[in-house]
Structures are given as C-alpha cells and as structure tokens.
Amino acid sequence: MSPIISYGDQIVAMHRSKTSAGFSLDIPLIMLVASFLRIFYWPGARFDSSLLVQSLIMVVVQMMLLKIALEHRPLPATKGGEGSAPFAGIEREGSLSFQRPYNFWRWRSHKPYWHFLSYLVGGLVICQLILRPMEPLYSAYSVFIGYLGLSIEATLPIPQLLSNAQSQSCKGFRLSVLASWIGGDAMKVFWFFTSTSAIPAAFKVCGCFQAACDCLLGVQYLMYGAEDKEVVLKEHALEDAHWARGQRPHARTISSSKRANGFGEPESE
C-alpha cells in the first residue's frame, strides 16, 4: 500500500498547489505501460493473484495521477510572459532536452494521452485473443511481455532524474514518492538475493539498476532541495544605465529638420 499512499500524496499536492511543474509526466506513462503488461502477463504466468490486484489498483492510481498532472500542467510561455524574455528557460531546457518523434507524450491536448493508452490496451487484448490458442507461441509471447514490463518499470526513476537535473531543483516531486521508491526497491532487491526459490538474473539486474537510480534521486534531493532555482538574465551595463535614467535602451530621437529616409540615414539638407 505504500506506493499507492505516496502517489496519493503526490496527487493531493498537485491538486492543492494547482500545478504539476517539476513532476515528470513520464512517471505515469512508465507505470501504466508496465502495469498493463503485467496484467496481460498474468494469464500465462499465473503468478500470485495479490500482485495482479496490486497492478489493477496501480492502473487506477496512475490514471488519476496523469489526469491531475495534465489538468494542472503549466501553460506554455506567452508573449510578454516569463518565457518571452531573451534566453529565458535555456538553463531549464539544457542539453538533455530532445525532440521526441511525433512529440510523443508531450502533447498539449489531453486526448492523445488517453488515445495512446486505449490503443495499447486494445493491442494487448487482440494479441491475447489471437495467440492464446497457439500454446507454444503464446508461451513465448507471455514471457516476452513479462520481461518487457519488468525492463520498462526499471527505467521509472530516469525521467525524474533528468527533469531534476535540467531544473536544478526537486520542486514538484514529493519526498514521500522518493521514500516509497527507495524503501520498496531496497526490500525487492533484498528478497531477490535472499529468496530460497530461483529468481531469474534479469529480475536481479533490473532491481539493482532501479535501486541505484533511486539512490541518485536521493542525492539530487540533498543537492538541489525542493526549491526553484531562479534564472537571472544579465543585461548589458549600458542598457542598465539607460533604464535607470528612465529611458529606453535603444530609443532614438529624430529632429524635425532631419528625418530618416527609407534606409535609416538622415536626408541631406
């Protein structure tokens, strides 16, 4: 229940502050895809039913998280706003930013997010119906989506790591979520290496990788804290002097006897 409670805390925090700035939208994407794959992996693997129930609950929680995050997503910079200043946001964009194909999961409209999830579930249902009668092929398919879901979930901390590194702040990312990640993954890794039953090596590798990323997030929280880093734009000294005298930096006066021609030069008298 700890992850559900921590994500609930994240939902409440974004709803109260009316902003999801600082929270990576890739988190619900990763958790939803991994949970859907785990749900469709269950018919072929028949693992503990409590894990299936946990995945179903996680889908509901992550959909709520995505809905709130989209509703309170910061608006794009408008003319005259904060983002209109020269070079504003360069520090926040950073070299880590890149253009995703078809702007995937960066859409401004809410509908494409839900359309993608619908197509994903629809595709999994179709594969389930088609491959289920073909036992050897279905067995291989089931193992594939199981390992795929495990691998995708292992990347969960990475988007938030990149987001924090770009903004030089952990503001918007709840400490309760980080604590649940570190605690949950630590117990998971401990169980992987101490269990008397055979645990596949892939589970151990993914678990260790995810736990290491969680620790890096903890280091970021200690380094950056949860406060915004202000971006200071330095103006030219001459321009500062003009503004101090109440003049526009590049304002020019044209005498009545000398008016500019089409090329900006004064007409000869």
Q: Which domain covers residue 102, as residue numbers?
A: 2-74+92-224
Name the band, by pLDDT with cuts 50, 70 and 90, for residue 246.
Answer: low
Residue 269 included in any domain: no
CA dist 104 and 113 (Å) reads 9
Residue 233 included in any domain: no
Residue 248 included in any domain: no
The per-residue pLDDT for range 15-31, each reduced to its tens digit, is 999 999 999 999 999 99
Residue 40 included in any domain: yes
Check residue 1 and give its pLDDT. Answer: 56
Name the band, by pLDDT with cuts 50, 70 and 90, for residue 125.
Answer: very high
Is residue 221 left, alpha or beta, with left meaning phi > 0 and alpha meaning psi from -120 to 50?
alpha
Check residue 232 and give its pLDDT. Answer: 42
The per-residue pLDDT for range 64-112, each reduced to its tens digit, is 999 999 999 987 654 444 433 333 333 344 445 578 898 999 999 999 9
Residue 240 included in any domain: no
Average pLDDT over residues 42-69: 91
Specify the 3-state DSSP secondary structure of 260.
strand
The runs of H, that is alpha helices, within 46-134 are: 49-71, 90-93, 111-131
Residue 266 included in any domain: no
Number of domains within the chain? 1
The greatest distance separating any two alpha carbons of the chain, rounded to the nearest whole angstrom, comes to: 100
* C-beta neighbour count of 174 within 10 angstroms: 21
Q: Give the amino acid at 97.
A: S
Token couple for 135? 């036992």
CA dist 112 and 176 (Å) reads 29
The chain-wide mean pLDDT, for the chain, equals 81
Predicted model pTM: 0.76
Residue 68 included in any domain: yes
Q: Exposed e or buried b for every residue in 33-57, given b needs 16+ CB within 10 A?
A: bbbbbbbbbbebeeeeeeebebbee
58 contacts 3 by C-beta, under 8 angstroms: yes
Residue 22 included in any domain: yes
Specify the 3-state DSSP secondary structure of 187.
helix
